[in-house]
Amino acid sequence: MSIYPVILCGDDVGPRYWPGTLPRCPTPFVQLVDQRSTFETALLCLQGLDDVRDTLVVCGERHASWVRRCAPDESVEILLEPEARGSAAAVAAAAAWVAARDPEGVLVVAPADHHIPDAAAFARAAETAARAAESGGVVALGVAPTAPSVAYRLIEPGVGVAGGVRAVKRFLDRPKPAEARAQANAAHLWNSGVVIAVAEVVLEEFRAYAPATLNAVQAALDASVKVPMGWLLGKQFTSAPQASLHDAVLQSTGRALVLPVDVRWSDLDSWEEVRAASSKDGQGNAVEGPAQLIEAERMLVRLAPDAPSVTVLGLSDVAVVGDAENLLVCSLTRSRHVKSAAELQGRSARERLTTFAAELDLWLRTSALPLWWTVGVDSADGGYLDLIDLGGRPVIGPKRARVQARQSFVYGEAARLRLPGDWTDAAAWGLEYLQRRYRRDDGLYRTLVGPGGAILDNRAYVYDQAFVLLALATASRVAPEPRAALTIAEGLLERMVALRSHPAGGFREAGPHPFQANAHMHLLEAALAWITAGGGERWLSLGSQVVNLALGKFIDHEGGFLREFFSPDWSPAMGVDFSHVEPGHQFEWSWLLSRWDELVGDTRAAHAAHILFEAGRLGLDAARGVVVDELENVTSIRSGCARLWPQTEHLRAALVRARREPDGDRYLTYAADAAEALGAYLKTPVRGLWRDKLLPDGRAIEEPAPASSFYHIMGAFEALQDWLNEEESVEQDRPRRFRAAQ
């Protein structure tokens, strides 16, 4: 017997657990009871069965990164639904997938969001059911009720068959409150949602009772394509009727069997279910976070680390759940209605983004731009300072070329966007200092000077040249003499080609990593800026060269992510550099490749942009809501530190995907989450500054604000302005369409 575990992830993002879980974290991946999520528990239970072959997970694209993080093992295959159509279509897809490889393979189908604490007992029950399924039955696991409940569908068992398995007399809906006790006393079983059957038998039942579902699913499988996270089913999947397996097949089949089991099980349908599953003291209380209970029984208290402390005195059967912004207090008997409260309380992604965009606009105009143009400049020698401390005082020290170029870009963009202020002069201030203190005799720009202009590091990094080119592109759009900026930029590009071109393509970087993707990423950014500014054919050629190198060498298409460091022939570097992955760079490349596709119509770049966005999402730490700095081959976190800049790149990449993907609202939610993560870094004692690093425990490092981050913040602001302009255009169009319809 060959067993194929199948885990169904569904499409729930957790409002039933509001406000104790974040909407960006799908329900199966929330740690509700112990240190494992319910998905991890399901995986552990199913992969512990005897004779297990490949495990199959059926989920939406939003779940893919979560699944792969929990299950990096190659024996776990993922079927990605282009749209959730219910458990019937998901099971049909799994059955067809397995049947094509092993028609006699036995499926053990389980939901990803149920709590099964006794893996050994579950395994024994599943193996017994699998043996019964080999004879052609469709076997459900029926759990012996521990108390009357209106939460679960029921199974009425019939006559015994063999090995404890019984025929199903009928499947019942959830009982009404008045019926719950009678149903429990009638020896009915809770329907666990776990179904076990031979793959070909499942297909036969779909052919008999849900042929439209099977036809749509089979066409979608035939059209599926391999993507980094798994197999993306074809769009035909969306034509499958929306239905549960229960309604589509189980209610009708004559092959239904049930194995009564006496195991601990819960679908964690509410906070009351979570309390019952996780209570550890003698009073039935479950407490997590800053709380103390006095003379309290059967209480659920779940508080985030940043929530105010709570004291509960003399209460019972109450949930207290909160974070820094929201606090829920409700009767546990009413906790199934929390979803409605969450929907009333929650704001849409559009509302959250609109609010953040307005706040960021005000922050830039009134605080950040004026502060860095006054306190953040070196009035003695010229140029911009690298740091301002969190008390608002300038930090005098060495000045990097990239900071001069980035600050010139920031103020040039402020002028282009017509934000109030003398920002054209501010942009020119940095560019003048670059020409005076950083330009070498060979036409390239050195990387570091000290106070008074002393040369501290004369090396010319391609990375720095890229930012000079970017700043010049912005200057060409706002400066009184745009041609002058183009002439300087063309001269710099010529010197780079002459001095730094690499025979295998691209450019050789200075420093310890001569063959790297990062410097090329910013060259592509500069090329796109010059193409937009009308710089001419040479910038299109530069962009094309970098894009081809990225698509051909930088991106690991099998792994679905972009590598950082390479050997001289642009093959991946070995050693520790081989597995180094930066989520923030996945997002940066994603929006740059999308932009390239928009300008030149390169569908290869569009496809890669989608892949890299999903790779970047693997770096999301849901507990803190931030993107971390480094991963190990996209399977584990190498550095739990989370700097400011990956949050900005997550935001603007998500906004691009929201415009380009059919399920744009999902990406707007990602963008809203990223915006709120970014906002946390901008809350400082002196308005207009930022904290740069968040530690794994959630604490921010108290250190001076680096000027280099301003470039990333301005990029996020521009992306938000572009999105707002598109939203405004749509809104202005709506009344005209309405009048025409009348």
**DSSP codes of every residue in 6-27:** EEE--S---GGGTTTS-TTS-G
634: Cβ contacts below 8 Å, ≥ 6 apart? 68, 559, 560, 561, 581, 615, 618, 619
> How far is Cα 177 from Cα 165, in angstroms, rounded to an integer?
29
Per-residue pLDDT at 734:
39
Q: What is the mean pLDDT of residues 610-627?
A: 89
Q: What is the mean pLDDT of residues 64-78?
A: 81
Q: What is the mean pLDDT of residues 125-140?
A: 94
Per-residue pLDDT at 656:
96
Give the pLDDT confidence of 529-557 residue by residue, as tens digits: 999 999 999 999 999 999 999 999 999 98
> How far is Cα 88 from Cα 436, in angstroms, rounded to an integer?
69
Q: Tell whether the model's pLDDT for residue 329 goes beyond 50.
A: yes
Q: Tell whether the model's pLDDT for residue 72 goes beyond 50.
A: yes
> How far is Cα 699 from Cα 627, in angstroms, rounded to an integer?
15
Q: Which of 40-49, 131-140, 442-451 has the lowest mean pLDDT?
A: 40-49
Q: Tell whether the model's pLDDT for residue 340 goes beyond 70.
A: no
- Of the chain, the percentage scoring pLDDT greater than 90 comes to 67
Per-residue pLDDT at 13:
52
Q: Tell whether the model's pLDDT for residue 344 goes beyond 60.
A: no
Mean per-residue pLDDT over the chain, rounded? 90
Q: Tell whether the model's pLDDT for residue 742 goes beyond 50.
A: no
241 vs 730: which has the higher pLDDT: 241
Per-residue pLDDT at 416:
96
Q: Is the dihedral angle over the CA atoms 413, 363, 673, 693 positive or is it negative?
A: positive
Q: How many residues does the chain have?
A: 742
| Structure letter (DSSP) for residue 237 | G
395 vs 23: which has the higher pLDDT: 395
The pLDDT confidence band at residue 683, using thresholds 50, 70 and 90, is very high
630-632 and 580-581 beta bridge pairing: antiparallel
Give the pLDDT confidence of 247-256 residue by residue, as tens digits: 999 999 999 9
- Domains, the chain, ranges and CATH? 3-269 (3.90.550.10), 273-345 (no CATH), 349-724 (1.50.10.10)
Q: Tell whether the model's pLDDT for residue 345 goes beyond 80.
A: no
Element (H, E) at 159: strand 154-162
Give the pLDDT confidence of 146-205 residue by residue, as tens digits: 877 777 889 999 998 888 999 999 998 888 776 777 766 668 899 999 999 999 999 999
Give the pLDDT confidence of 569-598 residue by residue, as tens digits: 999 999 888 889 999 999 999 999 999 999
Give the pLDDT confidence of 436-465 residue by residue, as tens digits: 999 999 999 999 999 889 999 999 999 999
The backbone torsions φ and ψ at residue 640, rounded to the nearest 5 degrees and listed phi first, read -85, -5
Per-residue pLDDT at 334:
81
Per-residue pLDDT at 21:
57
> How far is Cα 125 from Cα 130, in angstroms, rounded to an integer?
9
Q: Tell whether the model's pLDDT for residue 343 goes beyond 80.
A: no
The pLDDT confidence band at residue 738, using thresholds 50, 70 and 90, is very low
Per-residue pLDDT at 341:
66
pTM for the model stands at 0.67
- Strand, helix or coil for residue 636: strand
656 vs 736: which has the higher pLDDT: 656
Element (H, E) at 219: helix 211-222
Per-residue pLDDT at 736:
36
Per-residue pLDDT at 733:
46
User: Which residue in 513, 626, 640 sits closest to 575, CA to CA?
Assistant: 513
Q: Which of 523-527, 607-611, 638-642 has the lowest mean pLDDT?
A: 638-642
Long-range own/partner contacts, residues 446-451 (CB < 8 A, 24 or more apart): 446/401, 447/400, 447/401, 447/402, 447/510, 448/398, 448/399, 448/400, 448/401, 449/398, 449/399, 449/401, 450/397, 450/398, 450/399, 451/378, 451/380, 451/381, 451/396, 451/397, 451/398
Per-residue pLDDT at 737:
32
* Structure tokens given for 593: 């490749």
> How far is Cα 124 from Cα 127, in angstroms, rounded to an integer?
5
CB 581 within 8 A of CB 555: no
Q: Which of 99-103, 179-183, 269-273, 282-286 has the lowest mean pLDDT?
A: 179-183
- Strand, helix or coil for residue 667: helix
